[in-house]
Structure 1
Amino acid sequence: MMHQTLFSGNDLELDVLDGGHDVSIVTFEARDRFLTPGKEHAFGQGYGRGLFAPMGMNEFIIKKNKNIWYQTREMVTVAGIIKSKTHGQRVITYGGSMGGFAAINFAPMLNADEFVALSPLFDVAPDGVLRDQRWKVDWSETSFDYNLIRVGACRSAKGYVFFANNSPDGPHAELLAKETSATVIELDYGGHPCSFFLNDAYKLKTLVAEIAFESFDARKFRQVLEERTPLTHYPYERRSAQLEKEGADAAALEQIELAVSRKPNLARLHAKRGNLLLKKREFVDAAAAFHAAIGLEPNNSYHHVRLSYAHAGTENYAQAVHDMDAAIALAATKAEYHARRAEWLLCAELYREAAVDFQEAIRLDPKRSNHYVRLSYAYAGMKRFGEAVEAMDNAISLFPEKAEYHVRRGEWLLADQKLEAAALAMRRAIQILPTAVVAPRRLDFIESQLRQ
Structure 2
Amino acid sequence: MSEARTLFDDGGVRVRAVDGHGSDVVVVTFAPWQRQQNVAAEGFGETFLASSGIDAIHVTCARNDWYQAEAMAAVIPTITAALEGQSRRRVGYGSSMGGFAALTFSAALGLDSVIALSPQYSVDRALVSFETRWAEDLEALRWRYPMTAGPGERATWNLLYDPFSADARHVDLIRALRPVTEFRLPFSGHPSGDFLKQTRLLSKMVLTLLRNDAEPARFRPAVRCRRRRSAAYWRQLARVLAGRQNLPAAMRALTQAVTLAPGHLDYRYAQGQLAMKLRDYTMAVGSFEAAVAGSPTTAQYYYNLARALRAAGKPEPALEAVRQAILLNPREEYSGLLQRLVRDNGERGSASAS
TM-score, structure 2 length as denominator?
0.83
Name the structure with the higher helix share: 1
What is the RMSD of the two structures over their aligned residues, measured on CA atoms? 3.2
Given candidates 336, 339, 342, the residue that maps to 2:333 is 336
Asked if 2 retains the 8 angstrom alpha-carbon contact of 1:157 and 1:181, the reply is no
Name 2:32's counterpart in structure 1: 30
Aligned equivalents of 1:83, 1:163: Cα separation in 2: 28
Name 2:13's counterpart in structure 1: 12
Aligned equivalents of 1:174, 1:249: Cα separation in 2: 29
Shift in Å, 1:33: 4.4
Aligned equivalents of 2:245, 2:137: Cα separation in 1: 38
Q: CA 1:43–1:202 in structure 2 vs 1: closer, same or farther (change >3 Å)?
A: same
Aligned equivalents of 1:255, 1:169: Cα separation in 2: 21
Q: How many residues align?
A: 345
* Stretch deviating more after TM superposition (226-235 or 240-249): 240-249
Deviations 1:69-121 (A, max 9, x none): 21234224333333333323322211122111100111122222211112222
Name 1:401's counterpart in structure 2: none
Q: CA 1:17–1:184 in structure 2 vs 1: closer, same or farther (change >3 Å)?
A: same
Shift in Å, 1:252: 4.5
Asked if 1 retains the 8 angstrom alpha-carbon contact of 2:326 and 2:334, the reply is yes
Aligned AA (1:126):
R
Shift in Å, 1:296: 3.9
Q: CA 1:48–1:243 in structure 2 vs 1: closer, same or farther (change >3 Å)?
A: closer
Q: CA 1:182–1:323 in structure 2 vs 1: closer, same or farther (change >3 Å)?
A: same
Of the two, which has the highest radius of gyration?
1
Give ranges in structure 2 of 5+ residues lacking alignment: 349-354
- Report matched runs for 1:106-125 at 5 Å: 106-125=105-124
Higher relative contact order (CA 8 A, sep 6+): 2
Partner of 2:46, secondary structure, is coil
Deviations 1:301-342 (A, max 9, x none): 33222222333345443322222233334433x221222233
Aligned AA (1:269):
Y
Name 2:351's counterpart in structure 1: none
Q: CA 1:212–1:329 in structure 2 vs 1: closer, same or farther (change >3 Å)?
A: farther
Shift in Å, 1:299: 4.3
Q: CA 1:34–1:337 in structure 2 vs 1: closer, same or farther (change >3 Å)?
A: farther
Aligned equivalents of 2:150, 2:76: Cα separation in 1: 19
Give ranges in structure 1 of 5+ residues lacking alignment: 36-40, 352-452
Name 2:352's counterpart in structure 1: none
Shift in Å, 1:276: 4.4
Given candidates 320, 323, 328, the residue that maps to 1:322 is 320
Name 2:182's counterpart in structure 1: 184
Name 1:81's counterpart in structure 2: 78
Q: CA 1:262–1:348 in structure 2 vs 1: closer, same or farther (change >3 Å)?
A: same
Q: Percent identity of the aligned residues?
A: 24
Given candidates 57, 62, 72, the residue that maps to 2:59 is 62
Aligned equivalents of 2:65, 2:117: Cα separation in 1: 18
Aligned equivalents of 1:145, 1:246: Cα separation in 2: 38
